[in-house]
A and B are shown apart, each in its own frame.
Chain A
């Protein structure tokens, strides 16, 4: 079995298994916790509308905060959108998913994907630099923050190296790229990459709790 066979076979299966099981475990582990009902008289009905609003209200900082965190949000959006575009609109990636879902979709030219991947990688390095340099972020950062950065950045770097044919042996390079993605999947449920789910739950929770009061969240 070559490294590529391993990456395409058992490694992928193990990674997906841990990825799915870990996510379910973590979500259920939180949702299974008790929660007392709020017995106070609500100011208004339809708290769920506030929850939905909360999902969007925090997608961009409120005006007074833009000078402080606007740039940070932009870097964040570049990383998230870059990840999304490369993952779903890169032809090799689409073909990989197509094998699973059984249909294909439109993709972007390879050059565009490479450009997006480069921009995303630069944004990831900017985010890391800020984490290392900014006194607040440096203080509150822990192992998970750096591990998350590493497992997110690695597939971009290995992917770019594969596209640019920088590996001495292409198939080994491709296998390394695949393994880096599986590493991301395996780490996903254990760290803050889970914010992919929590951001919805947390924003909705606060939005609905404060809509009930008529307050602002």
Chain B
């Protein structure tokens, strides 16, 4: 791999956590000829051409409806940002190489070979302008799961060395250091200790056995370390047997986001092996959307068998805790608008969890227009927020989001995804938003009723 791609410093000062903007972009990795790149892309596209993928490829009627559900198209008005168009080379490869009519398409050259220029052109569409939020599936008359297909198309792109500079860099860093954003095991341990001292809360680190393994995302470790204290405070109050582990703590999975299934598996296996080693019955995921996809819904498939423990997003854990009465909360007398992380709500199925928690907090929840599972994405997920050249459009997407949340008139904004949160913070600074996005977890931790301790 080209060295220039990975020798980039983290931009720890910015609201958004990424590497510094590259002076010269190198959006091409590895030493391959043009033909080799195309071949790699095709081979890895083909690996994903199973029955479900094929069904979706066959079903599209080119109605273009998906454009109107896509926050990027809505923000740009650019037809190229139509979700199904983002899959054009992937579709082309399917029809020419794997579909039932591939013989005709290939023999008579009815579908042309995908070219390197096309793949390069599509890099922006597959990485910069899609968070895999899956809202397009809702509007599609054929119900095509375009987000999953974009994730698959990224597999081919990664192996062809066609990942945007910054996203590749943080992914490579994650693979090498165990965290995409500098939260190495040592940094993690230091910051956990710091938060323990700062908030006078008992931190459980590297316990040999524990019922609950708690993961953190690098965004929280580096930008919102209070999340670690908040989680500890809640688990301690509930009397849980829990631990952080330096050999399995990173919840984000940039293998998944960039398109390297091998790395995705390695990243998931670190956590799975740690949970097995300590005999955990439950793995709690932090406020991170893609982490939930990676472990809750794809973890077992990486492992090759059902996971020997339960996986919960922190909002699900909190919802169960307030439901069972093991966590009692003070009333927060405010109106709240909740931003649903797409991967947890619409695509994860945990839409009701944060609402139960907010109800227990006694807030008045004002749903935004097209909220809940139909929520509009903030535009920062799927690795998009790491890519500097995507900033202009990302801010436009967030502009619409700000307007949508503003229309609720709510006093307080809350979410349960730290990646969304950093996007709100970064875009808020840029667009002079007069509100601040808050963490559901931290809101709970700040409003615990001490007597409820078990």
Contact = CB atoms under 8 A, between A and B. Distances in A.
B139 interface: yes
Interface stretch (A103-111, A137-145, A171-179): A137-145
25 contacts: A31-B51, A33-B54, A33-B98, A35-B51, A41-B307, A62-B374, A65-B68, A68-B65, A134-B64, A136-B73, A137-B62, A139-B85, A140-B84, A141-B62, A142-B62, A195-B61, A202-B58, A202-B142, A205-B143, A213-B348, A215-B347, A215-B348, A216-B345, A216-B351, A216-B374
User: Which of B69, B85, B142, B143 gathers most chain A CB within 10 Å?
Assistant: B143
A40 interface: yes
Given A33-B51, A62-B139, 10 more contacts: A29-B101, A31-B51, A33-B54, A68-B68, A136-B82, A140-B84, A201-B55, A207-B143, A215-B347, A217-B138
Interface in A160-205: 190, 192, 194-195, 198-199, 201-203, 205
Interface in B66-115: 67-69, 73, 79-80, 82, 84-85, 88, 98-101, 104
Contacts of A136: 64, 67, 73, 79, 82
B137 interface: yes
B80 A199 contact: no
Interface stretch (B169-177, B183-191, B230-238, B298-306): B298-306
A96 B6 CA distance: 70
Contacts of B351: 215-216
Contacts of A214: 348-350
A68 B69 CA distance: 9
Interface residues of A, number: 57
Contacts of B67: 136
A133 to B, nearest CB: 12
Contact residues of A: prevailing secondary structure = helix
Given A30-B51, A210-B349, A203 B143 contact: yes
A1 interface: no
A198 B82 contact: no
Contacts of A29: 99-101
B347 A213 contact: yes
User: Which of A25, A138, A198 gathers most chain B CB within 10 Å?
Assistant: A198
Contact of B85 (A43, A62, A140): A140
Interface of A: 25-26, 28-31, 33-36, 38-41, 43, 54, 57-58, 61-62, 64-65, 68-69, 72-73, 76, 134-142, 144-145, 190, 192, 194-195, 198-199, 201-203, 205-207, 209-210, 213-217
Contacts of A141: 62
User: Which of B141, B303, B310 gathers most chain A CB within 10 Å?
Assistant: B141
Contacts of B301: 36, 38-40
A202 B62 contact: no
A199 B142 contact: yes
Contacts of B303: 39
Given A39-B306, A69-B68, A216 B297 contact: no
Contacts of B59: 195, 198-199, 201-202
User: Which of B65, B73, B305 gathers most chain A CB within 10 Å?
Assistant: B65
A40 B300 contact: yes
Interface residues of B, number: 63
Contacts of B101: 26, 29, 190
A26 B303 CA distance: 33
A145 B62 CA distance: 7
B55 to A, nearest CB: 5
Nearest to B306: A39
B62 A33 contact: no
Contact of B369 (A41, A64, A206, A216): A64
A36 B296 CA distance: 17
Nearest to A25: B100
Interface string B140-155: 1111110000000000
A198 B58 contact: yes
B143 A58 contact: yes
B145 A217 contact: yes
B416 interface: no
Nearest to B346: A216
Contacts of A202: 55-56, 58-59, 142-144
B150 to A, nearest CB: 15
A200 B32 CA distance: 42
B370 interface: yes
